[in-house]
Structure 1
Amino acid sequence: MITRRLALTATLATPFLARPALSQAATLNVNSALTADDPLFKGLEAFKQGVETRSNGRLQVRLYPSSQLGSDEDVLEQARAGAGVAVVVDGGRLAPFVREFGILGAPYIANGFPELRKLATSPLFDRWADRLRTASGHQVLSFNWFQGDRHLLTNRAIAAPADLNGLRLRTPGAPVWLETIRAMGATPTPLPWTEVYSALQLRAIDAAEAQYPALWGSRLYEVVRFITKTSHINLITGLIGSRIWFDRQPAELRTILREEALKGGDTGSQATLASLDDFETRLKAQGLTITTPDLAPFREATKVVYDKLNYAAVRREVEAVLAG
């Protein structure tokens, strides 16, 4: 009797034991300093939906706005170590690994999103991205995420670079940003974005610079009185992940990630462009004075940045791409 029971148990258990283990979906955690109501975030939501739908759930994307996973630099380090993370960052944060990326944030390098997208999808850019994979272990998924033009945010009127003399102006810590602000006449002061509001409120800094969606999302209109539309930087950013994690995925999923990142970047960029007039209207309603100065003195003042950072030759390559 005992023998028969054991045989029956073994027979019932065999199909269960032989059943192959279910494969687990891969997960990509996407971090961004953007708030969830930033128009560019619509692109991240489109990226998530596109990846999950086309992969039939084999790839899951989780979105973390407002830097919930840490600073951009922290997430870039996690990516280097092979974690399943990605982050929306500007080229300046990648320049320590491949210095050509820094020119993406250089002053007046392009004329708006169409030119920036042309550069970010060119063979020249692809060569930079391939070198980044080797140099730092980062994978560019796409670099067509346009956040808008960056303008000056102050508590006094600015009409020319000379009006910035003596002002402590917050900017990211990448060399191209620091040199741009210094060339414009202010004293560049690196600070995390999350600290800008309190620093302006407490007068630890005198001014800042940002694009409309970020300015609005962080409520900086409460602590500045003037916006000067210098458009000194056309802020293009990229969705950057881990080469190790990316290469671990099947070829089909790697294709999906890159194609959907490009589509998501276009979606978010178009949403940004469509929002700018509305943001300006809302900012004026908050009592801010918004002016557009003669840009020629600002362009002239910032030409020195390219020589200081040894970008003259790279700029010629970029200009050739844009002219082609």
Structure 2
Amino acid sequence: MSFITRTWRAATLGMALATLAGSAFAADYTLSVNTALAQQDPLYKGLEEFKKSVEQRTGGKVSVRLFPGSQLGKDEDVLEQARAGAGVAVVVDGGRLAVFTKEFGVLGAPYLAQGYEGIRKVVTSPLFEQWTEKLRKASGHQVLSFNWWQGERHVLTNKPVATPADLGGIRMRTPGAPVWMETIRAMGATPTPMGWSEVYTALQQKVIDGVEAQHPASYGSRLYEVTSHVTKTGHINLITGIVTSAAWFDKLPAEYRQILREESTKAGDNASRATEASLADYEKQMKEQGMTIAEIDVAPFREATKPVYDKLGYTELHQEIEKILQN
């Protein structure tokens, strides 16, 4: 090997090591955010905004890494990593947090609030801040913000649905949290919990007969290929949040903690309003793919799901939330 070749290789190796060192040590803190969302989802665009803003405001001292498609594992697994103090976060619904702090489960209860502005009143209220403190003490989780609205959830099947009776005998995928399970059961279907990544294949193989989901997720997962009807029940107003490790969060300088919470809330608002603006287009695209989208009278579904609050012990909490929504 010539002297010139050896010198060139040494220089190249040195540059590579310098690059690796720079990428490894430029940030003092790294937060890895896991989400089941696809990259084209409006909420994922919000996560990209969150990443950019945090890194800019901290001068690169806090690095945010995004993992779409649940690349880091199931939400429950990432929540456990966060409990152990890892620098991870997950975009998660209240139902999965209810195992640690019961109050969060009510966010997934049927017909709790209308649209984003309605549910936003709840998750930015003093009452909600009490829940976040309770969660910290109960499980060691820190909520950065909880204003990430994914839309109202509707029923996707291969047959028309107009009333709860039409869902009799339908095995319907839903997350495994009690509030979701009881809601779907009250609507007339048989709740079947499974991971979101398994839904397409389960529908294709007829392991399940239907699924309930919001438009961006339905379209992003190409469910129009394995279902033919969307019934707009709007039974759950899906609000989610970015939840991380309290132990990891508490190690940050106070300034960085404030930046994470501020930018998470700001990006959540922007992403939620983008979701709102995108819904009509999602419907148009699903219709173009051959799906039937039905507007129905949801009154029978509202009536059928009213007992869910009593059954799960949310009666008084529901009344408190009603007062917040009326202001």
TM-score, normalised on structure 2?
0.92
Provide, for residues 160-202 of structure 1, a one-character-per-residue CA deviation record: whole Å limited to 9, x for no partner.
0000011111100000000000000000000110000010000
* Seq. identity, %: 64
> What is the distance in 1 between the residues matched to 2:179 and 2:295?
23
Match of 1:243 among 241, 246, 252: 246
> What is the distance in 2 between the residues matched to 1:93 and 1:220?
24
- One-letter identity of the residue aligned with 2:184: I
Per the alignment, residue 12 of structure 2 pairs with none
> What is the distance in 1 between the residues matched to 2:26 and 2:274?
36
Alpha-carbon spacing, 1:244–1:224, altered in 2? closer, same or farther (3 Å): same
Per the alignment, residue 9 of structure 2 pairs with none
Which shifted more, 101-110 or 265-274? Answer: 265-274
Cα displacement (A) at 1:25: 1.8
Is residue 62 of structure 2 the alignment partner of residue 59 of structure 1?
Answer: yes
Per the alignment, residue 207 of structure 1 pairs with 210
> What is the distance in 2 between the residues matched to 1:267 and 1:87?
18
> What is the distance in 2 between the residues matched to 1:135 and 1:184?
32
Local SS of the residue matching 1:40: helix
Question: Stretches of 4+ moved more than 6 A in 1?
Answer: none
Local SS of the residue matching 2:99: coil
Q: How does 1:178-193 map to 2 (within 5 A)?
A: 178-193=181-196
Is residue 165 of structure 2 the alignment partner of residue 162 of structure 1?
Answer: yes
Q: Unaligned regions of 5+ residues in structure 1, if any?
A: 1-21
Provide, for residues 195-235 of structure 1, a one-character-per-residue CA deviation record: whole Å limited to 9, x for no partner.
00010000111111100000011111000010000000010
Is residue 249 of structure 2 the alignment partner of residue 252 of structure 1?
Answer: no
Per the alignment, residue 114 of structure 2 pairs with 111
Cα displacement (A) at 1:305: 0.3
Match of 1:45 among 39, 43, 48: 48
Contact residue 34 and residue 89 of structure 2 kept, 8 A = yes
Contact residue 148 and residue 240 of structure 2 kept, 8 A = yes
Q: How does 1:281-292 map to 2 (within 5 A)?
A: 281-292=284-295
Cα displacement (A) at 1:321: 1.2
Contact residue 148 and residue 273 of structure 1 kept, 8 A = yes
> What is the distance in 2 between the residues matched to 1:48 and 1:25?
15
> What is the distance in 2 between the residues matched to 1:276 and 1:88?
20
Aligned CA RMSD, in angstroms, stands at 0.9
* Number of equivalences: 303
Structure with larger Rg: 1
TM-score, normalised on structure 1?
0.92
Per the alignment, residue 142 of structure 2 pairs with 139
